[in-house]
Homo-oligomer: A and B are copies of this chain.
Amino acid sequence: MSTDSTLERLHDAPGSGSFDAAWHARYGTQLDASLPEWNDTLETLLSHRSVRAYRDQPLPDGTLDTLIAAAQSASSSSNLQTWSVVAVEDTERKARLSVLAGNQAHIRDAPLLLVWLADLARLEAVAVRASVKPEGLHYLETLLVGVIDAALAAQNAVVALESLGLGSVYIGAIRNAPEQVAAELRLPPHVLPVFGLCVGYADSSRPAQVKPRLPQSVVLHREQYDAHVQAPGIALYDKILSTFQVQQGQSEAAWTQAVERWRTRESLHGRDRLRDALASLGFELR
């Protein structure tokens, strides 16, 4: 798209922010680079925050169709489209899935839970109909293709829903008990529930804020990976995140305390047995 059309878009943007404001919210530092023209899509992307408090309000007609169209517009490895999604709106089912996923209340509160699947069963069924023995199905690589396909699709849905004024939060805890989730959703073998996504209108009385991230100098490498430049950026980020969390009424725990998540096998909340779960879902992971 031309610069002209981007400009036009900027003029059309109703009361949109600016790159400087979005950058400051995302990094807690001043923007010191010369950046492209701001546009509505960048505004949507950079304003992302996870929403865990939802209004009791249904989604407008056509929302789900729109999110799925956005999701399917994401790239798919060799166009194999090795993902599916289950839309759960039933109150009882959401409640049961909530229990399986660490008892997170927002799974019950959101009007829609999308469970994103790495789905190798669809192409497997095609192979069976064509009398092909799909040997490639059984490799770890093929599972990764499904996981990546599902993640790209889901993220497009997130951007789409935020452009519509909705909010969402990913539920990684759907992997706490993959077999039980698979049973609840009647998944065939060779389908892994990768993560959930709660979707709904944010409760403005309990607003979520943009969370600061690591400085770009820590995650972006030029030409080759450089481990040595990371420490100062991480030290700075510890301060920025602590300050942010205190402002939010949360603990001032520095980011580096995130290592607690990896301290023991138990800190994985059951996901230490993902390999066993995958085996029981039919994945050989050669």
Contacts and interface: CB of A to CB of B under 8 A. Distances in A.
Interface string A78-104: 111101111111100100000000000
Interface of A is mostly: helix
Given A72-B26, A213-B73, A132 B263 contact: yes
Contacts of A126: 234, 256, 258-259
A39 B122 CA distance: 33
B63 A142 contact: no
5 contacts: A86-B225, A123-B262, A127-B262, A140-B275, A151-B155
Interface of A: 1-6, 8-9, 12-15, 22-23, 26-27, 33-36, 39-42, 44-48, 50, 60-66, 68-70, 72-81, 83-90, 93, 117, 119, 121-123, 125-127, 129-130, 132-137, 139-142, 144-145, 147-148, 151-152, 154-156, 158-160, 162-165, 169-170, 172, 175, 184-188, 191, 194-195, 210-211, 213-214, 216, 218-225, 227, 230, 234, 255-256, 258-265, 267-268, 271-272, 274-275, 278, 285-286
